[in-house]
């Protein structure tokens, strides 16, 4: 076992290190030994026992799961929930999105909706936000996606409503009680390591396709941020304030509502903001299960590899994301300001808001009678943008053919293919043993249980080969992510200016739903696994870069200065002081990178990445393959947990990241 002593850097002034133990073999040597053995055995056994299952093949196990799934779906409870969700969503659709039977338009036409939304923007935030909201809504109609946009908004907001309804009490519970926190946290961890796609599969089994699936998935996916962040906010309230108010004789209830919740308000709203963005990002993916919204046109464009047709709805998703993000952020800032006595005179404001309701009411009334205010006048803006974008993309791809092709070939032949043949063409027992040994090398003994459970589970699910293919793509993409993260992270950490420029870009990148990244990458690289990898890199890089930058910056100035005073060069300073000390955050960044990439690689199943993602997509379209889809879903979950646990064990060994 490689229990190499992790060289903990000595802080200045700390006690002298204990006498050095006899030198142990460093971990990377052990890793090389494992790899060497693996390759050796592989060269004799290549192609045996790979457990390959073709795309349309099902094993007995999968068929048995299909039967179980059929039994699960359509039960009384799911029926009631589905009916309820359908009723809510359809009512709202009739109100603002789809025509209601005798009428040619929804109850409130676009003009009325724009007026109401603008008013809300002003009420919760400011004039600037109101303008942003108005412009966003008008753009939905102008580009011909009014109905899909409203559907997406409805699904998102209905889901957020339920997520808050369920999540806030849970947040309070984990904020107040350690026991509750200990019970809930692993569940949240699991929900968050599950790639979005997997939710669709599991919920599909219970709810079939359509709005109920979309809403249930979205609620499940949007729950963790509000629970975690709001719970943290409540737990984090200054103990001094709690103690002082306790000393006045308050009850637990009074403490919660008069002290803890108000003091955590800012954090709670941040949690709400994150929940809304999470909801938006999965509500789009729900297009796969025929969930209403902008996901559907994007999806059909992706399957036809029509860049232009996907671009417009993709951008509208981004617009909606920015609108929701900015509005909630500004609303939180405003509420904070008002709570601190800032802002305008409340009475005047009430009068202004009240009188603004008059034009809103007029707009709503008008939009019920005038057809132009009810249905957005059609135009060919979207199609002309689409065809222009396609022309433009064509010229770019032909111009970039050389470099992008070279890059693709380099990655494919240099990294992807060799690793894939090692992982996927090894007999399963060899890959099993090799992966287990590597997990132990990386994560130490604590990685043993998760590695054994994960690998055995994957084996039992009968999709070993597909999982190895996914693992291959994940590893390669993460390696590239970490190269980016190191370069940009160190650069950002060392220069405030670079940080100031790069960070907002990364922040913006993180608010864009994963799905949208696929559109341009697909156009550039065509429907191959490489597209999934590049999309995964783009999706995962921002989080990883930020983690590395923060980790390296967190290395105390004094330590760096101490190094500098010994006359180290910049390169030595980075490699000898900053990176080793930031080891914990590097491991953490790798972990995040792996999980993000995994999620994206799976989504990429639709655009040629094949393997587990394809199994899920195929099952979503063919109900009798539900068993295989579910098995693929479980395999993804197990792979995610395996990666997460092993990397966490590694991070703990590397010591605190900050």
What is the contact surface with another protein in residues (CB under 8 A)? Answer: 238, 240-251, 254, 258-259, 262-263, 265, 339-341
CB of 16 to another protein, least distance (A): 23
Instruction: Quote the least distance from Cβ 557 to another protein, whole Å.
Output: 26
Kindly give the residue spans of alpha helices, DSSP state H, lying in 236-306: 239-246, 252-254, 261-263, 265-285, 295-303
CB nearer another protein, residue 13 or residue 341: 341
C-alpha pair distances (Å), 610 with each of 303, 530, 629: 13, 11, 13
Name the residue nearer to another protein (CB basis): 13 or 249: 249
Measure the CA–CA gap between 551 and 655, rounded to whole angstroms: 12
Least distance in angstroms from the C-beta of 330 to another protein:
19
Task: Give the C-alpha distances (Å, rounded to integers) separating 445 from 1, 442, 646, 650, 654.
Answer: 8, 9, 10, 10, 14
Neighbouring CB atoms inside 10 A of 511's CB total 18
The nearer residue to another protein, 261 or 481, going by C-beta atoms, is: 261
User: Does residue 301 contact residue 284 with C-beta atoms inside 8 Å?
Assistant: no
* Residue from 643, 648, 634 nearest 471 by CA: 643
Distance of closest approach, residue 345 Cβ to another protein, in angstroms: 13
Nearer to another protein, 1 or 240 (CB): 240
Residue among 104 and 262 whose Cβ is closer to another protein: 262
CB atoms within 10 A of CB 173: 17
Nearer of residues 60 and 243 to another protein, judged by Cβ: 243
The residue (of 263 and 363) whose beta carbon lies closer to another protein is 263
- Say how far apart CA 658 and CA 647 lie, in whole Å: 16
Residue nearer to another protein on the CB measure, 252 or 304: 252
Shortest Cβ distance from residue 343 to another protein (Å)?
12
Question: Is the Cβ of residue 101 or residue 240 nearer to another protein in the bound state?
Answer: 240
DSSP 559-603: HHHHHHHTT--HHHIIIIIIHHHTHHHHHHHHHHHHHHHHHHHHH
Q: In whole angstroms, what is the distance from residue 610 CA to residue 612 CA?
A: 7
Residue 559 Cβ, how far from another protein at the closest point, in Å? Answer: 28
Residues 35, 596: contact at Cβ < 8 Å? no
Q: What is the rounded CA–CA span in Å between residue 397 and residue 459? A: 41
Least spacing, CB of residue 340 vs another protein, in Å = 5
Nearer to another protein, 25 or 244 (CB): 244
CB 264, min distance to another protein, A: 10
Q: How many angstroms separate the Cα of 265 from the Cα of each of 60, 98, 110, 254, 511? A: 53, 36, 34, 16, 22
Lookup result for tokens 């909606």: 320
Complex with another protein: residue 257 or 369, whichever CB lies closer: 257
Per the rule left: phi > 0, alpha: psi between -120 and 50, beta: everything else, 49 is: left
Closer to another protein by Cβ: residue 341 or 567 = 341
Q: Summarize the chain as % helix, strand, coil (round to 5).
A: 80, 0, 20
247-256: b (≥16 Cβ within 10 Å) or e: eeeeeeeebb
Tell me which residue of 177, 339, 251, 267 sits closest to 242, measured CA to CA.
251
Q: Round to whole Å and give the CA distance between 412 and 420.
A: 10
The size of the chain, in residues, is 658
> Measured from the CB of residue 258, what is the shortest distance to another protein in angstroms?
7
Compute the least distance from the CB of residue 260 to another protein, in Å.
11
Beta carbon of residue 271, minimum distance to another protein (angstroms, whole number): 18
CB of 160 to another protein, least distance (A): 25
C-alpha to C-alpha distances, 321 to 102, 276, 280, 382, nearest whole angstrom: 33, 9, 7, 20
- Residues 205 and 197: their CA atoms lie apart, in Å, by 13
Cα separation, 110 vs 139, in Å, equals 11
Burial of 374 (0-12, 13-18, 19+ CB in 10 A): buried
Q: Which residues, at least 6 apart from 387, have a Cβ–Cβ distance to it below 8 Å?
A: 308
DSSP 361-372: HHHHHHHHH-HH
Going by C-beta distance under 8 Å and a sequence separation of 6 or more, which residues neighbour residue 67?
Answer: 627
- Minimal distance in Å, beta carbon 259 to another protein? 6
Instruction: Work out how close the CB of 254 gets to another protein at its nearest, in angstroms, rounded to a whole number.
Output: 5
Measured from the CB atom, the residue of 338 and 406 that comes closer to another protein is 338
In whole angstroms, give the CA distance from residue 2 to residue 30: 7
CB of 255 vs another protein, minimal distance in Å: 9
**CB closer to another protein out of 46 and 265:** 265
- Among residues 250 and 404, whose Cβ is nearest to another protein? 250
């Amino acid at each position: 076992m490689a229990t190499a002593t992790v060289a903990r850097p000595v802080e200045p002034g700390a006690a002298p290190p204990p006498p050095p133990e006899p030198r142990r073999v460093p971990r990377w040597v052990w890793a090389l030994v494992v790899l060497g053995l693996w390759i050796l055995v592989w060269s004799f056994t290549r192609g045996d026992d790979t457990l390959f299952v073709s795309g349309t093949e099902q094993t007995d196990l999968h068929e048995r799961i299909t039967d179980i799934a059929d039994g699960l779906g359509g039960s009384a409870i799911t029926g009631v929930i589905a009916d309820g969700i359908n009723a809510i969503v359809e009512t709202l659709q009739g109100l603002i999105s789809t025509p209601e039977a005798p009428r040619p338009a929804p109850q409130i036409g676009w003009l009325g909706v724009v007026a109401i939304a603008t008013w809300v923007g002003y009420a919760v935030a400011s004039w600037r936000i109101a303008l942003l909201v108005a412009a966003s809504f008008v753009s939905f109609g102008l580009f011909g996606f009014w109905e899909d946009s409203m559907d997406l908004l409805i699904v998102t907001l209905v889901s957020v409503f339920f997520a808050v309804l369920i999540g806030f009490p849970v947040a309070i519970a984990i904020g107040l009680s350690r026991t509750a926190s200990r019970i809930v946290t692993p569940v949240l961890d699991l929900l968050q390591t599950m790639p979005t796609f997997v939710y669709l599969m599991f919920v599909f089994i219970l709810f079939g396709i359509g709005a109920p699936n979309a809403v249930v998935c979205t609620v499940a996916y949007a729950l963790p941020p509000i629970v975690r962040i709001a719970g943290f906010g409540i737990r984090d309230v200054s103990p001094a304030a709690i103690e002082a108010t306790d000393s006045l004789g308050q009850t637990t209830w009074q403490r919660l509502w008069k002290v803890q919740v108000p003091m955590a308000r800012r954090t709670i709203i941040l949690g709400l903001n994150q929940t809304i963005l999470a909801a938006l990002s999965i509500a789009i993916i729900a297009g796969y299960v025929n969930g209403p919204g902008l996901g559907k046109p994007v999806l059909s464009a992706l399957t036809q590899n029509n860049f232009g047709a996907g671009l417009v709805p993709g951008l509208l998703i981004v617009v909606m994301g920015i609108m929701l993000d900015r509005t909630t952020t500004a609303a939180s800032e405003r509420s904070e300001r008002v709570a601190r006595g800032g802002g305008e005179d409340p009475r005047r404001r009430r009068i202004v808001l009240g009188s603004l309701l008059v034009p809103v009411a007029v707009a709503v009334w008008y939009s019920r009678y005038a057809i132009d205010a009810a249905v957005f006048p059609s135009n060919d803006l979207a199609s002309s943008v689409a065809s222009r974008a396609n022309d433009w993309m064509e010229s770019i791809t032909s111009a970039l053919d050389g470099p992008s092709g070279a890059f693709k070939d380099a990655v494919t032949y240099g990294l992807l293919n060799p690793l894939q043949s090692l992982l996927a063409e090894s007999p399963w027992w060899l890959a099993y043993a090799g992966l287990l040994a590597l997990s132990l090398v990386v994560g130490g003994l604590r990685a043993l249980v998760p590695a054994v459970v994960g690998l055995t589970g994957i084996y039992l699910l009968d999709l070993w080969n597909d999982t190895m293919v996914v693992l291959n793509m994940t590893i390669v993409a993460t390696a590239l992510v970490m190269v980016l993260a190191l370069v940009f992270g160190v650069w950002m950490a060392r220069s405030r200016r670079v940080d100031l420029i790069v960070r907002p870009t990364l922040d913006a990148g993180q608010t864009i739903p994963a799905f949208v990244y696929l559109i341009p990458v697909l156009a550039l690289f065509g429907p191959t696994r490489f597209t999934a990898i590049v999309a995964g890199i783009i999706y995962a890089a921002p989080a990883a870069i930020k983690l590395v930058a923060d980790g390296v910056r967190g290395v105390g100035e004094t330590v760096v200065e101490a190094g500098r005073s010994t006359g180290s060069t910049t390169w030595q300073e980075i490699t000898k002081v900053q990176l080793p000390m930031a080891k914990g955050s590097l491991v953490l960044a790798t972990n995040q990178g792996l999980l993000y990439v995994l999620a994206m690689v799976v989504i990429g199943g639709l655009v040629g990445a094949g393997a587990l993602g394809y199994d899920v997509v195929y099952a979503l379209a063919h109900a009798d393959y539900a068993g295989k889809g579910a098995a693929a879903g479980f395999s993804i979950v197990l792979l995610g947990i395996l990666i997460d646990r092993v990397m966490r064990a590694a991070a703990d060994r590397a010591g605190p990241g900050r």
